[in-house]
Every structure is written in C-alpha cells, then in structure tokens.
Structure 1
C-alpha cells in the first residue's frame, strides 16, 4: 500500500506556511479531491470536475482557550498552497460517508452555520480507506476532547472506526535532531497537545459491557429455532408475573377510588358556591359601572361648561371696541402729537378685523349673528377712518408744497444757484409713513388717490426748482458763442475758428445733471417706499451714484432710513411686476414736465457751441450707465431722451456743415487746396478734445459723414475741368493727409480715411505725370506703343519691315525726340511747376516724374535692343545722369 499522505511532513509544513499564523498548529493534513457530483449520475464538466485540495485539521491556542478549525487549501498556478476555505469544528454537525461510492473513500461534512443549506455540500474523496479513517478519527477525537460532543456519523460504524484506530495507532518515536540535540516527537503528534489521534472512540468499560451483553445471547445453540423458542418461553413467564402483580394490588386500587369519590363531592360543593359568588360579583360590577358612567357625565359637563365660559369670555373680549380707539378712529385729530394714538388705533383695528376672519377665528363662529354685526361695525369704523385720513393727507401734501413754493428762498435767484433741499419736506412726510402703511393694510384702494395727490403737489415743486435752477445756470454761465459756419468756403483757411473757450457750457450741463439726476432718483426711491410700493430698494441710503453722494441734506441726515423701517413684515423678496408698473406710472406723474428744463439747457449749449454736444453726450451716457434700478425707470427715460436730443442736435450741426461743404460745388473754377480741407482738420482736433466716456461712436459717425461728403465734393469739382483735374486732386488729397497726419495716428476712423486719401493721391500723381511726359515725348512713346502692340501678333524680327516701323523711321523718331532732350526735360519741370499752388509738393512730384520717365525710357531701350539690335541710342545710364543733373 502506498504511503499515506498523513505522514507527509513536507505537506504539513506547506500548510503551515500557507496559513501564516504562528499560533495555529497543523494536526493533520491530507490530500483530497473535491467534487460536487453524485456517484452513479452524469455530471457536467467544469464546476463538477474533481479538483485537488488539501484538508488540514488545525488548533489555534490563545492562552487556555483552544479553537479547532478544518481548513481547505488549494494549489495556485505555480503549485503553491493557498487558503481556500476555513470551517470551525464546533459547527460540524454531520459526517456522512457516501454509500454510492464503491470504494468508500468519499464523504461529506455538514456544518450548521452555512448560509445556504439548499446548496449541496462538497464531496471529499481520499486516496484510500486508511486516509479516510485517519482523518475521521482525528476529527471525532478532537470534537470529543475539545468540544465535549460528537457529530452525527452516517454510513460508517463508530465501533469499526475505533477498532481501526487501535490497530493502526502509530508508535510515538523519537529521533535525534539534525544538530545532535534533544530528541523530538514524530510527525504525527505534538508535545503540547492534550488530544492524541490514537485515542479510542469507545472506552474499555464500554467495550466490556458490550461484550457481556452480547455474551448473554451467545448460548452455544447452533440453531436459530431453539433460540427463538427460548425467547418465547421467557416472554410468557414475564407476562404471567405481570398479571399476578396486578391482581395483588386490587385493595390499594379500591382505596384510591374511594378517595377520588370523596374529592369529587367536595369539588361539586365548591363549584356551587363559586357560582353563587359569581352572580353576586356580576351584579356588583354592573352597579359600579352605572355609578362611574353618571360620575363621568357630570365631570365632562363641568369641564365643558368651564371651557365654554372661557371661550365666550374671549369672544366677548374680541368683540368689544375700546372707547379710546373708537373715539380716535371716528373723530380724532391727525396732528403730529396724536399720531401715536392714531397708529395704535389702526393696529388694533387691523388686528380686530383679522381676528374675525376664518383662519384666525373658529369656523363655527363665522356665521354667528354677533360676529356678523361686529364685523359690519368694524368695517364702518375702517371706512370712516380711511376717508378721514385720506382727506387729511391730500390737504397736507398740498399745504406743504404751497408753503415751499411761496417762499422764494427755496429756489435759485439772480446771482445765486440754490441746490434743492427736501430734507424738511421728507421729515414731515415721514411722520405719516406708518399711517400710510396701516391705510394700505386697511384699504389698498385708498392709496391710488393719495399717490396722485402727492405726485401732483410735488411735481409743481420739482418743476419750479428745475426751471429756476436752469434759468440761473444759463444766466450765470459766461461763454462766447462760436460760429456754426465751421466749413464755410468763403472764410479763409487760416482763420482760427476755435479760439473761444466754451468749456463752461458743458460744465453747466454736467452741473445740472449732477444736481438733479441723483435728486430725482432719491425722490423716486422715497416715493416708492413712502407710498408703500413693494419694489426692491433703488440704491443704498447715502450711496454713490456716478461719483456723487445720493444724499442732499448738508447735515448728513438720511431721510430714507425711516421709510425702510416702517414695517419690516411687509417687505417681500423679488420683484412684483404689477407694483412696478404702477410705480412707473406714478413716477411719470411725479416727474413729468421736468425734462423741458433739461432740454432748454441742451438747446442753449448747442447755440453757443454745437461741438459741446459731444461732451454733453458723454456726460449723459455716464449717468445713464449708472441707472440700473427698476424703480428709477423715469430717470432712465429722461436720460435716454436727453441723449437722443443731444444726438439730434449734433446731427443737425453735422448736416449743416456737410451742406457748407457741398456749396463748394457751385464755384466752377476751383484751384489749389479747398478751404474745408484744413478747416476739417481743425474741427476734428477740437472734436477729439470734447470726447468723454462712450462718445467715440458719435464722433466717428460724424467723421464718416464729413469725409464722405468732402471726397465726393472734391471729385465733382475736379470733373468740371479735366485739364487740371489731377493737379487739383493731388493737391487736395496731399493737404488732407498733411493736416490729419497726427490725428490719424491715434484715431482709427481717421486713419482709414487717411489711407484712402493716400491711394487717391498716388493715382492722381501717376495720371498727371504721365500726361506731362507724353506731352514732351509723344512721338517717342507712341512709336514704343505701336511696337508693343505688334508684339502680340508679329514676330520681333519682322517688325522692322512693317509700315512706319523701319530702322529709318526709328532714327527719325530718336532724332526728333532726343536731339534736345535736356530742353524737353526742363520743359517737363516747368510744366509741372506751372499750375502747382502747393510749392512744397514740387520736389516729391519732380522725383516721381523723373522716375516714371526713366522707367518708360528703360523699357523703350530694351525693346529697341531686341528688335533693332544694330541701332544705337543714348543708354539708360546716360539718361539717368542727365536727369540727376537737372
């Protein structure tokens, strides 16, 4: 028989290495095959195929406590053992040897703590019976010694297993250590273990009892029939003995029966007495329940009566109208000293009306007659108070404004500009701010008439302040009026038309905006909060708008703070489009008409200096970009209208200037530089000085219109006299470039027109120079032109044989054109100088003329050398030297 794997010390060491726990000792390790198939049935390949495994029985010692484990280890691809599964031995409930396996080497282990009991446990197959018995004996011994119980064993006899263990118990041998040290135990046992695998499953005493029991049935009879007869005789003897014993115990049975009869009679008497007591107790219980019911009813009635009285007291108190509030609501005064009482009365009335509504009142009371009568009484009080308060406030607003209008010290006077001051007006209005809040909560519809009254009264004051301020502002501003005929052709080009300083005009306009735009924004904000519009705050109190503080009172008091704190509970986050529309409609009534005084300042500034429209446009854009709040809609509209009016006025100036440019067409004979060319440079220089903010587009549009008209007019005038057209154009385009050279370097729009003028100047120069050259050397270059035209259809060697192009003809042309070439060149110079009014252009024009003539002559020399190779004529170098000496 092959050596058992149990004796394989190398396998045990491999298992200990795989476990990697020094406290856990391997007791037994055996190679097995793991499978899930059933013997005698076909199985699928893959999962149910037998897989090599190693089962190791281990003990983990932690102090006095020992734990037993059954570990299953598998082989990796490199043949090294690694843990696969571990089972606690204390959960082992069943060991079953598979009977379908003829070899008897296959068994299963059942554990009571497996999660899925529906899955069949794996089957372990040993190499031989000895391996199987040795593993099972080790498991059973360890279970008995460490756990105190044995698992259920199925398919194998425990006695047979015990006998095998005794017969195959390995001797405990010792051996020298490799180093010659002390002897060590064999591979099967460990010195520190309390359990040995060779221990018997059945003790010696139990074995002797089994043998004695079996000996009583071993009688030496060889036949089973005799043994059966013997057993029958013994059975009959036992039955007879039992019957005799029963008969002997009859007197004792009779005594027991008599005792039972006596007990039965006592029980019956007791049952009768219990029935009587039960009836009496039932009657008593019914009486007690009746008494408790009557008592509970009386108690509930008492509690309900008490609660009803308390509720009626509260209701009566809610329905009572305090006399001091009734007097204040129906006939009290609205003086400032009485406002605290009026506000308290309003608060009480608001609370009383709210208290009679269903959410705050029990719905059961809503239809009571007393509630309806009291609600009608409170509604009458409300309507009376709202009517009285509204009438008072309308008269109060009118009286405040009338008082301020009648006092001239509030407004600007001759020699003194007066900044509008509404601090006292707002302080007096703020006294009634909380009253307006309560009026809104009592009757929202009453605010419409109050808002109209306030707007109507304050509009008179604002318009009077703006009119007086604008009049005095214009009267106190000293500025000389600039002529509007900026590009008039009749004026001399050297006239200085921008000598007058008109900066005070735009400063006056800026002062008008600085004073009144923040004032109007503040008035809009104050009105929105004072008149209880549910819109977001415009600007923080005392904030900065376009670099200007929004407050206007000199002592630094902030009149809007009281408005912000009137009733914090009424403030709503977000925007209310309906409220915002109503606010803008009211602001239209509040501020309408004040724009006329702003228009008057704009028109006045335009008459003094139209170019100041540029500065005013930039100032207006800067203020307009700062107005972002929705409630300042009218202020944004006002600034937008001012911007449009300024743009219209400036467009009017541009149109008049363009008309002045077009008037130059009427002069049929124009020579030299037109007057509007240098005047436009002066105008553009001043326009650039006036640009502020985002006014660049306005000026660029004016530049585009001016230059387009200028160039168009220039071309029309040039067409009136074709003889001098090119000279006229090049002088004017050159003058345009010279006058705008500095500005074109910094203004992109003017740079574009500068390049356009430069191209037109070059084209005019080329045409004028070619005309002069052709006048002096007409025969020479006509001959060249004829040859050049024939080159497309005739071979070069055949051209000398053409009519008029022979060598003799060439010699005549050269003699005629070049015999006095120095005089002809001098004539060209005089011709170029004759009609030129701008002497500074002559050197550059003469250089262009010499270069153009030399290029033409060089082309002619090359053509003659190609077609008339034997003919001689002055070389290009000689002609260049001649031109250089001229």
Structure 2
C-alpha cells in the first residue's frame, strides 16, 4: 500500500508555516482533490467539474482549559507555496456525507450549519483511496467526540464498519524502547501519534462490542433449540389428530340423529319456500295496486292545491283590475279646485299604483297576455291620458291667471316715490297646492311637463320683467347724484376739478340695491322652479343657504320623490340628463330681465364713469357668492353684467386716452403737461372706488393710461429737440411728485414710478451735459482729443501732435478758465432760463456742479499725466469756487 500523505512531515511543516501566528497546532494534514457539486444532483467525479488540489489540515488550540478544533483548507499559490483558503470551526460541523454516486467511495462532503449561503453547494472532497478517507473522517469524528462531546450526522457509511477498520489498522506500537534500540526520531514519534487509535477513542467501545458478540451467540443458540422444538410440536400434532378421529368414530349414533333432523328441517324449508313464493307474488300485486292508488291520490291532491292557488291569484288579479267608481269619476271629470285636490291626489296615487301593478315584476309575466289584463291596461291608459290632458290644461290657465292678477294690481310694483320689494310668497303658496299633482303628472307622463314648464316660464317672465323694470325706473328717479363729465384728462383747465370731486356714491349704492333685491329673488325663483317643476337636479343650492340669504325653507315643497325605487346611480343619471333642460327653462324664465340691469349700469356710467369700478367689485362679490348655485342663468346674468361694466369702463379709459393723445397736436407746449396732475387726481379717486376684486380692472387701466401718457410725452418732446430734455425732466418729476403716496401702496403705480425716475435721471444727464459743453466746449474737446490719441500712441508723444502742444494747452486753459466764475454763472443762468419748474432748479444745479467737477477732475488728471510741467487751477480750487456759486 502506498504511503499516505498524512505521514508526510514536509506537508505538515508547510501547513504549520501557512497558519503561523494563529497559536494553533496542526495534528493532521492530508492532500485532497476539491470539486464543486450541485445540491441534490452531483455529477460523476471528474466529469463536468474541474478538480483542484487542496490540503486539509486539522488544528487544535488550547484556550482557558478548553480545546478548540479547526479545519483549514489550504491551496497552492503560483509559486507552489501553501496559503490559507478557508477556515471552518469543527464545532459547527453538522453532517458528514459520503457520496453514493462515486463508485470508489472516496468522495465526501462536510456540512457546516453556520454557512451564510446555504443555496451554494458545499465543496466535495476526493481522497486517493479508502484508507485515506477513513483515516481523515475517523480523526474528525474522534476530535468531535473528545473536544465537542457530540458526533455529527454520518450519511453514506456505516459507523460499525468505520470502527472495524480502525481496529484493523491500529498499529501495535511498543510502549517502551530499549536504550540500545537507538534514539527515537521525530518521524517515529509523529508516526506513532498519527497511527495510534486507542480503544477509548473508537466509535464502538469494548463493552459494547462484547455485548454484541454475546447477543449473536444467543441468536445462534436459539436457532438450534427452535429446530428441536419444531420436531416435538409435529409429534404432538399427530397424536392430537389421532385422538380426534377416534372420538369422532365413537359419536356415530349422535351423528345419525343429527342427519335425520337435518333432513326433516330441509323438507320444512322447501315447503316454506313454496309458500313464500306464493305470498311474494300476492304482495307484488298488492304493491302495484297501492302505487296506482297513491299516484291517483297525489294527482288529485295536486290538482286541488293548484285550483285553490289559481282561485287566490285570480281573486288578486280581479282586485287589481277593479276600478273604484269614485276614482274613475275624479280622473275623468272631477274639479281641480283647492278643496278637491286631496281626492285628485288620492286618485293619482291609485292610478299610478294600478299601472305599476300591471307591469313586471309586480305582475307575473305569464298574466301579461291575458285578455282581461290587456283590456284593463288599455282602459287605465285612457284614464291616464284623459287626466293628464285635463290637469295640464288647468295648470296652464292657472299660471296665466295668477300672473295676470298680479300684473293688473299696481300695488305689487314700485311706484313714484316708493320702491317696492317684489314679494312672491303668495304666488308660491298658491303654486305649492299643485306641487304634488305635478309630481304625479311626471310619474304618469313625463312628456306633459315640457308644455307646463314653458307656460309657467312665459307667465312668470312677464311678472319678473315688469317688477325689474318698475324697480329700476324708480331707483334711478329717486337717486340724486351730480353728473360728472367724462372729460378727465384733456388739457383745458377750469371748473371741472370741482365737478370731479362731487360725491356719486349713491350711484353705486343704487346698483348694489338692485342686485341685493333681485339676485336673491332670481336665485330663489330658479330653485323654486326646479323643485316645483320636478327637475331631478340635485346640485341646486339648498334653501336657507347663504346664497339664498338665509331665508326659511320656503322652497321645500314638502313632498317626497314618487319614484322611490330609483337608486342613487339612476338619480345621478337623471340629474345629469335634466340639467340641460333646466338651464333652457331658466333662460325662458329670466330672459330679458338683464336689460333693466343694463339700464342701471348705463345710467351709472353717464353720471360717473369711475363708478364702474365700484359696480365691478359689487358684481364680483355676487359672482363668488353664487359659485355653489345651480341657478345657471343667474350666474350668466352676473357674468353679462360684469362684461357690460368692464366694457363701459374700457370705453371711459379709451376716451380718456384719446384726450391725452390730443395734447400732442398743440403747436408748442412747455412746462408740466396738464394731464400729469389730472392723472394723479384720477388715480386717487379710482383707488377710493376699488371694492372686492376690482384691482385687476384698475391696474389694467393704469397700464393703458400711463403707457399713452409716456408715449404722448415723448412725441411732444420730439417736436422741439432743443427743449426736449427740459420737457421730459419736468414732466417725469411732476409724475413722481404727484404719485409718490399712491406708488407706496399700489404695486402697478410703483413700477411706473421707477420707470419715470429712470427717465428723469436720463433727461437730467443729457440736459446738464449740453449746458456744460456750451460754456466749456474747447476745454473738454481738447481733453477728448487727448483721450482718443492715448489708444494709439504713448503719452510722451501726445504733446508733439498737431494742436496738442503745450502752447495749445495754454491757449485753451486761458480761454476757458480765465474768468471761470463768469462761465459758471452763465451756466447757471442758462439752466434757470429754460426751466419752468423753479422747485427743480436747486437739485439740477447741484447735479450740474457735480457733473462739471467730475469732468474737470478728469481733465486735470490728463494734464498732470501728459503735461507734467504745466500748471492749471487745481480741482480743490475749482470745488471751492463752485461751493461759493
């Protein structure tokens, strides 16, 4: 047998060198081949997987009177040196499995219970032979038993077989060596320690082995006794059988008696069998007769039950088909007076129930083709048609008569000197009497409601328009307000300012009163109409809501929906389908009333166009209050009023802009244009009129006004370029002064205020530059020529250029700076001469002196750089001189 790698001392030393520094001692090292298998499906060794050489080393470590065991996996590096690859603690070893798909039995797997990924197949280890495999596994099991006190699960190999192998391969090592045998080598010691397997470390102890041998001996001895016992039993069986035969022969007379008794019983049984056959035939015939009788009896009983049920159903059907005489008389010729309405409602309810009772599923579909049912249904349809026609004709006449009565009585309307709030309480009270009737008419024939709705809308429209017209006429007649002209921004001056300051608040108050009276009225009429005329629209503002002025629940007609079987989805579908019809009816109900509102708006515009701002805010508040209202036409009316007010105000803005543009047609204009301060007055008053959300309307007007003002100012300034900057700076300054307070609170004006400020600064800079150059043109022209040449030549060469010599400098300085105080005084006079706004002179003169000083300082720096030997008045002297001016 080849020497095992477990005896290779060089291999053990290499393993110890690989784990040096771990304080562990290698007790066994052996070469193996590593391959990777698949869980549950391991391939054949050497096929499909590449085997890799590895060394398995078992090491121990003593720590705190406790021994720890480790399994090292070492691999060969590129230089052939062993290096650690894996480290396992043997305390986590849970399974040792010898693979059955390897015929040689040299391949096994070690399972550890602390591996992170159990989905990866553990490596397979293949030994050179069975002896190496047994040696390694036996060593591992012994260490587990000694160190850990337990054994892992062993699969694929018999533990007894392992113990027998250990016993056979345990070398008998001498306990003592004679001194003459020579010194003991390290190899000998290692070999003894490796090969020694003591009885205590065997898997099966000596005591257990003796018990097993004793049991086997007993088992063999038991087999011999069983054969003897079997022979004895056979002999006893033969003896018993012989005794039984003898006893039977002795009891022969008894047997004869039993046989005779059996023969007599057999004759009786045959007779009984014959009688039973006869009785069976008779019973079968009797059974058939009974079944026939029961069948006939069941049929008669079923027929009786069916006849009884049929009679009951026919009685119920006859009860349904009976028309009470009092209901028939009421439906065909009864009166619709208020005192008779209770009988009419009861008749309608009976008719509705009767018609519904003849329709599936209330009536069994099998009854639908019965002639009596068809005839009765036709009769009921005729009753329904007659009643619907009579009721519709009565209601149309009734609505017209109610409205005609109210229109003929002038006390219902506003009169001269007296504003009358429309009151429809009596009208609605009388209409509510027939609300339940309309519900039943809708249930009987939905098509009849269309003409009734048109008749109601046509009649009530006359009343509403008459009320609005009389109220609007008296409202305008009773409102006292001074008329303000629309000429706000034209150039002429006069008494218009005083007129513009007149109080016209009564105009907007009158418009607000018109809306306060009629908008809730129209909303209530729309809501009442929707309920009264049975529109299935659930989005109407509930009576008593803020939109309806917190009134009492006067639109609640006190009735339930007759179609109680409709579920919520059906109601929603009906609501959507009838919303369009409701809006059309509301248009018929309220159409034309907007003209009276327009008349109030136009009247207010003629008195004071700026009151459009107040009316716009009032209208917006009512629009926001009607957002939750389904009185669609009222919302459209408010939107139309807002558009009308916006159009009128836009008209005023356009006319005022036209008045501004007429200023540019004048031949010559100086000083502050007239529309600048007038616009400040206009803006102040517009801010006073803003109510609600009218801010956007006013801001758009500001943008248009100021845009035209600035454009017109530029055109006027361009007519005379000589005085253009003076006109611009004076007017932009006046614009800022007049709008200073408003610009602090109005963002739109603040934007234009900053724009005017920038334009003012630009105009001042241009005008001051013209004045300075007019007095000191030669001086600053000389400086400009020097600056231009400095881009192309050096400063030292400039004095040698034509016209820029030192002599030329002296001439320029003498002509410009001799008597400089006179030049500065002339500059002041010229600035004062063309300026019409005296309050602007101090600030302009300060700007002029500062600008001149800056330019002179630049000139002095150039002279000091180009002509260092020349002397001119210093900047300080010039500053002191300007301070005294």
Q: Given the two structures, how large is their TM-score scaled by the length of structure 2?
A: 0.76
Quote the Cα distance in structure 2 between the aligned partners of 1:596 and 1:562: 32
Residue 557 of structure 2 is aligned to residue 558 of structure 1: no
Q: Trace 1:668-687 onto structure 2 (pairs within 5 A).
A: 668-687=667-686
The offset of 1:364, in angstroms, is 1.3
Residue 627 of structure 2 is aligned to residue 628 of structure 1: yes
The offset of 1:561, in angstroms, is 1.6
Match of 2:266 in 1: 264
Quote the Cα distance in structure 1 between the aligned partners of 2:603 and 2:638: 17
Match of 1:436 in 2: 438
Contact residue 411 and residue 468 of structure 1 kept, 8 A: yes
Contact residue 433 and residue 566 of structure 1 kept, 8 A: no
The offset of 1:786, in angstroms, is 1.4
DSSP-derived class of the 1:872 partner: coil
Alignment equivalent of 2:323, drawn from 321, 324, 333? 321
DSSP-derived class of the 1:127 partner: coil
Match of 1:640 in 2: 639
The offset of 1:629, in angstroms, is 4.2
Residue 717 of structure 2 is aligned to residue 722 of structure 1: no
Identify if the C-alpha distance between structure 1 residues 334 and 49 changes in structure 2 by more than 3 Å, giving closer, same or farther: closer
Q: Structure 1, residues 341-372: CA drift from partner, whole Å, max 9, x if none?
A: 10110111111111111322111111111111
Quote the Cα distance in structure 2 between the aligned partners of 1:366 and 1:866: 123
Quote the Cα distance in structure 2 between the aligned partners of 1:677 and 1:729: 12
DSSP-derived class of the 1:692 partner: coil
DSSP-derived class of the 1:631 partner: coil
Residue 707 of structure 2 is aligned to residue 708 of structure 1: yes
Residue range with higher mean Cα deviation, 576-585 or 426-435: 576-585
Match of 2:474 in 1: 472
Quote the Cα distance in structure 2 between the aligned partners of 1:672 and 1:49: 108
Identify if the C-alpha distance between structure 1 residues 41 and 245 changes in structure 2 by more than 3 Å, giving closer, same or farther: farther
The offset of 1:43, in angstroms, is 6.6
Identify if the C-alpha distance between structure 1 residues 36 and 396 changes in structure 2 by more than 3 Å, giving closer, same or farther: farther
Identify if the C-alpha distance between structure 1 residues 466 and 78 changes in structure 2 by more than 3 Å, giving closer, same or farther: farther
DSSP-derived class of the 1:724 partner: helix
Match of 1:581 in 2: 580
Contact residue 386 and residue 439 of structure 1 kept, 8 A: yes
Match of 2:27 in 1: none
Quote the Cα distance in structure 1 between the aligned partners of 2:491 and 2:796: 61
DSSP-derived class of the 1:604 partner: helix
Quote the Cα distance in structure 1 between the aligned partners of 2:585 and 2:318: 44
Match of 1:171 in 2: none
The offset of 1:539, in angstroms, is 1.8
The offset of 1:101, in angstroms, is 5.0
Identify if the C-alpha distance between structure 1 residues 320 and 157 changes in structure 2 by more than 3 Å, giving closer, same or farther: farther
Q: Trace 1:77-226 onto structure 2 (pairs within 5 A).
A: 101=161, 127-128=204-205, 130-131=207-208, 160=218, 214=225, 217=228
Identify if the C-alpha distance between structure 1 residues 43 and 361 changes in structure 2 by more than 3 Å, giving closer, same or farther: farther
DSSP-derived class of the 1:871 partner: coil
Alignment equivalent of 1:453, drawn from 455, 459, 467? 455
Residue 758 of structure 2 is aligned to residue 759 of structure 1: yes
The offset of 1:299, in angstroms, is 1.7
Match of 1:331 in 2: 333
Quote the Cα distance in structure 2 between the aligned partners of 1:799 and 1:666: 53
Identify if the C-alpha distance between structure 1 residues 787 and 101 changes in structure 2 by more than 3 Å, giving closer, same or farther: closer
Please list every run of 5 or more consecutive structure 2 residues that lacks an aligned counterpart in the other structure: 1-65, 67-93, 114-141, 167-201
Quote the Cα distance in structure 2 between the aligned partners of 1:271 and 1:48: 82
Quote the Cα distance in structure 2 between the aligned partners of 1:365 and 1:618: 68
Q: Structure 1, residues 398-455: CA drift from partner, whole Å, max 9, x if none?
A: 0000111111111111111111111111111011001000000100000000000000
Quote the Cα distance in structure 1 between the aligned partners of 2:501 and 2:630: 45
Match of 2:767 in 1: 768
Identify if the C-alpha distance between structure 1 residues 641 and 235 changes in structure 2 by more than 3 Å, giving closer, same or farther: closer
Identify if the C-alpha distance between structure 1 residues 239 and 519 changes in structure 2 by more than 3 Å, giving closer, same or farther: closer
Please list every run of 5 or more consecutive structure 1 residues that lacks an aligned counterpart in the other structure: 1-13, 15-31, 52-73, 86-96, 107-124, 137-154, 164-209, 219-226, 552-556
Contact residue 484 and residue 499 of structure 2 kept, 8 A: yes
Q: Structure 1, residues 602-653: CA drift from partner, whole Å, max 9, x if none?
A: 0000000000101111111111122224631111111111111111100100
Quote the Cα distance in structure 2 between the aligned partners of 1:865 and 1:594: 87
Match of 1:595 in 2: 594
The offset of 1:44, in angstroms, is 9.4
Contact residue 39 and residue 101 of structure 1 kept, 8 A: no
Q: Structure 1, residues 683-738: CA drift from partner, whole Å, max 9, x if none?
A: 01111111111111111111011001100110111111111111111000000000
The offset of 1:297, in angstroms, is 2.1
DSSP-derived class of the 1:271 partner: helix
Contact residue 623 and residue 638 of structure 2 kept, 8 A: yes
Q: Structure 1, residues 299-326: CA drift from partner, whole Å, max 9, x if none?
A: 2222112111111111111111000000
Contact residue 388 and residue 448 of structure 2 kept, 8 A: yes
Identify if the C-alpha distance between structure 1 residues 409 and 100 changes in structure 2 by more than 3 Å, giving closer, same or farther: same
Contact residue 393 and residue 450 of structure 1 kept, 8 A: yes
Match of 1:871 in 2: 870
Contact residue 583 and residue 631 of structure 1 kept, 8 A: no
Contact residue 727 and residue 768 of structure 1 kept, 8 A: yes
Quote the Cα distance in structure 1 between the aligned partners of 2:545 and 2:598: 28
Q: Structure 1, residues 789-842: CA drift from partner, whole Å, max 9, x if none?
A: 111222211111111111111111111111100011111111111111111100
- Give the superposed CA RMSD: 3.7
Q: Structure 1, residues 14-59: CA drift from partner, whole Å, max 9, x if none?
A: 9xxxxxxxxxxxxxxxxx99879889977796678899xxxxxxxx
The offset of 1:294, in angstroms, is 2.3
The offset of 1:290, in angstroms, is 2.4
The offset of 1:105, in angstroms, is 12
The offset of 1:237, in angstroms, is 7.6
Residue 401 of structure 2 is aligned to residue 396 of structure 1: no
Quote the Cα distance in structure 2 between the aligned partners of 1:485 and 1:76: 116
Match of 1:806 in 2: 805
Contact residue 159 and residue 203 of structure 2 kept, 8 A: no
Match of 1:5 in 2: none
Contact residue 729 and residue 763 of structure 2 kept, 8 A: yes
The offset of 1:285, in angstroms, is 2.1
Identify if the C-alpha distance between structure 1 residues 869 and 334 changes in structure 2 by more than 3 Å, giving closer, same or farther: same
Quote the Cα distance in structure 1 between the aligned partners of 2:319 and 2:242: 106
Quote the Cα distance in structure 1 between the aligned partners of 2:857 and 2:159: 125
Residue range with higher mean Cα deviation, 497-506 or 734-743: 497-506
Contact residue 98 and residue 108 of structure 2 kept, 8 A: no
Match of 1:519 in 2: 521
Q: Trace 1:19-38 onto structure 2 (pairs within 5 A).
A: none
Contact residue 486 and residue 497 of structure 1 kept, 8 A: no
Contact residue 350 and residue 442 of structure 1 kept, 8 A: yes
Residue range with higher mean Cα deviation, 690-699 or 386-395: 690-699
Contact residue 611 and residue 687 of structure 1 kept, 8 A: yes
Contact residue 541 and residue 630 of structure 2 kept, 8 A: no
Identify if the C-alpha distance between structure 1 residues 83 and 519 changes in structure 2 by more than 3 Å, giving closer, same or farther: farther
Identify if the C-alpha distance between structure 1 residues 550 and 245 changes in structure 2 by more than 3 Å, giving closer, same or farther: closer
Residue range with higher mean Cα deviation, 282-291 or 315-324: 282-291
Residue range with higher mean Cα deviation, 256-265 or 335-344: 256-265
DSSP-derived class of the 1:635 partner: helix
Match of 1:4 in 2: none
Quote the Cα distance in structure 1 between the aligned partners of 2:588 and 2:106: 97
Match of 1:385 in 2: 387
Quote the Cα distance in structure 2 between the aligned partners of 1:382 and 1:513: 45
The offset of 1:750, in angstroms, is 0.6
Quote the Cα distance in structure 1 between the aligned partners of 2:112 and 2:361: 81
DSSP-derived class of the 2:754 partner: helix
Quote the Cα distance in structure 2 between the aligned partners of 1:384 and 1:76: 110
Quote the Cα distance in structure 2 between the aligned partners of 1:262 and 1:806: 181
DSSP-derived class of the 2:393 partner: helix
Q: Structure 1, residues 185-236: CA drift from partner, whole Å, max 9, x if none?
A: xxxxxxxxxxxxxxxxxxxxxxxxx99x959959xxxxxxxx99x9999998
